[in-house]
Structure 1
Amino acid sequence: MSVPEQKPWHASYPKPVSTAVFLPQETVLEWMESSEKVPGRDFVLVDLRRMDHEGGTIRDSINLPAQTMYHSIPALYNLLTAAGVQAIVFYCGSSQGRGSRAAAWMQDYIMGQGNDKLKSYALQGGIKGWVKTGGRMLGLMDGYTADIWEKEEKTKQ
């Protein structure tokens, strides 16, 4: 008896038209350390991880699991534009799957609204890249647990 092939979670949603724009980690770090940019007012970070949220998250991020976010895009857009937010930055483990897909879906919606003030990005390298870079970036994490990341690094070897 064969097991039916599982479709990926995103298969039931349309493919994005836009291509994700990756925002360098250093830019996000500058924004977070700047007195001129305020998280939640000027930019919003969205952690798309669902079950792999252990080990910490980037400070001031909201959690919106990728598997449920597609239908939330209009509400998210309305919240962001009402607040005057200029950038939304999505990330997952590496930002190569969930992060880039969410950023592209959001950019499709933004363009469909004729908005040229709000920009959608995927965080280059995702949370794994953020942690691997270390230094000041680790100080800008909530719930950072070093042994979780060390365990993951050992698993890859």
Structure 2
Amino acid sequence: MNRAAMAAIKLMQPAELAAMLRSPALVPGKDYLVVDVRDDDFEGGNIPGALHLPSHQLSSPYTFDARPHLDQFMTIPKLIFHCAMSQQRGPKAAMLIGRLLTEDAATATTAMPELYVLRGGFAAWQSAYKTEPDLLENYNAKMWEEGWWM
């Protein structure tokens, strides 16, 4: 991926994403999409409406069929990637998808989506919003308190 494409990936603060989820004017899967690339650590909770696309599938061309996802991604203006802490898997997935979308952009009839990485990942998200059930699905507080995901 060239430097210009890499620079296009921005950080999104949890509060900004929370406002998007709570906005009646925005539709998940149409106006934005959260892409959760955690693997087994997906257990214990997720952001409502997130697409679970495990990073181990992205790392192998044999297990990842990009076409259906890329077609979907090209129709959504904002893609927000995250993993547990958004330090490795989330940014790596955003760069990979960004590269694939850039390759497809020459033939696309829609604008390139904006790419984001959620600052602090799901660890920061659940820490900030663990008492707000509208911002968490499948949440298991005990798992997070025990630090099982680290």
TM-score under structure 1 normalisation? 0.76
Query: Matched residues, percent identical?
Result: 24
**Aligned counterpart, 1:100:** 91
Distance 1:137 1:86, change over 3 A: farther
Q: In the aligned structure 2, how far is the partner of 1:131 from the partner of 1:24? A: 13
Opposite residue 70 of structure 2, the aligned amino acid is Y
Opposite residue 142 of structure 2, the aligned amino acid is D
Q: In the aligned structure 1, how far is the partner of 2:26 from the partner of 2:133? A: 19
Cα displacement (A) at 1:135? 5.8
Which stretch of structure 1 is more off in the superposition, 92-101 or 108-117? 108-117
Q: Looking at CA atoms only, which structure, 1 or 2, has the larger radius of gyration?
A: 1
Q: Which runs of 5+ in 1 are unaligned?
A: 1-15
Opposite residue 136 of structure 2, the aligned amino acid is M
TM-score under structure 2 normalisation? 0.80
CA RMSD of aligned residues (A): 2.3
Give 1:4-153 correspondences, 5 Å limit: 16-17=1-2, 18-19=6-7, 20-69=9-58, 71-81=64-74, 84-112=75-103, 113-114=105-106, 116-134=111-129, 138-152=133-147
- On the 8 A contact 1:47/1:64 being kept in 2, the answer is yes
Cα displacement (A) at 1:91? 0.8
Report the number of matched residues. 138
